[in-house]
Amino acid sequence: MSARSPEDSGSVLQAFHEGLKEEAGFADGENGKVGYRWARGNYVLLPALATELVEHRVNVLVAVGGDASARAAKAATSVIPIVFTISGDPVEAGLVESINRPGRNATGCIVFSTGDLDAKRLDLISEIVPGASVFGVLVNPKFPPAINQARELEAAAPKIDRSIFIVHASNDVDLEAAFVALLQKGVGGLVVASDPFFDSRRARIIAFAAEKRLPGIYQFRDYAVDGGLISYGPSIT
């Protein structure tokens, strides 16, 4: 179960299946079966998707694509084993009892891609576009770490003698409005904050940046492979 969409998750899916086969000996369609549920950036769908998978009595529930996916899985079952990825603190989120002894029915990986890394991206894009004084920042207010993301970026901007203009988007209508606002502000570069919704709209964001010749920095390598200027973040593969 992912908060993202299958179209933007090709490399992730490939790595997932390679790991299952090479490290655990499971091959989809041979000695195991993998069923998928995708929220496509619409987080409100996740609880229903998790419930559906639990009703199918899956042996393991893999919850990826952000904190909301892991929380939905944990709320849906206290029995079925859950493997998650999360960018925040899984103890604080109530997913595990402790980092070294998860307990309960969930375990997983912490993907460090928000907070300090969002601030680092601002630093990097300011070096790439030294003549820009104002940078646009795209944030999804419905993404759980969003408040911390904005706080880190607002604190980082004065340290490099730059200003930021934050725009919010959690759906396609918001995204188009954010593009308009960025152009009206005349920002010199773009920082796309870490968020599964933005990952699921990667092609649209990259196309906007290319059309308007707006240098952008993103969290995953996939953005740069697909035509974005630069990425800085963890390797999900």
Q: Render pLDDT for 142-165 as a digit per residue (tens, 0 to 9).
A: 988 888 889 999 999 999 999 999
Q: How is residue 7 annotated by DSSP?
A: G
Q: Is the pLDDT of residue 184 over 80?
A: yes
Q: How is residue 176 annotated by DSSP?
A: H
Q: Look at domain 6-110 and name its CATH class.
A: alpha beta
Q: Render pLDDT for 101-130 as a digit per residue (tens, 0 to 9).
A: 898 899 999 887 776 788 899 999 999 999
What number is the average pLDDT over the span 60-64?
96
Hey, which residues does 19 pair with through a beta bridge? none
Q: Where in the chain is the domain with CATH 3.40.50.2300?
A: 6-110, 116-231
DSSP 38-91: B-TT-GGGHHHHHHHHHHTT-S-EEEBSSHHHHHHHHHH-SSS-EEEEESS-TT
* Whether this model's pTM surpasses 0.85: no
What is the residue whose two structure tokens read 């998750």? 9
For residue 135, give the 3-state DSSP assignment: strand
**pLDDT classification of 234: cutoffs 50, 70, 90:** confident
Question: What CA–CA distance (Å, rounded) separates 206 from 215?
Answer: 10
Q: Which CATH number is 116-231's, of 3.40.50.1220, 3.40.50.2300, 2.30.30.110, 3.40.309.10? A: 3.40.50.2300
Question: What CA–CA distance (Å, rounded) separates 171 from 20?
Answer: 33
**pLDDT classification of 192: cutoffs 50, 70, 90:** very high
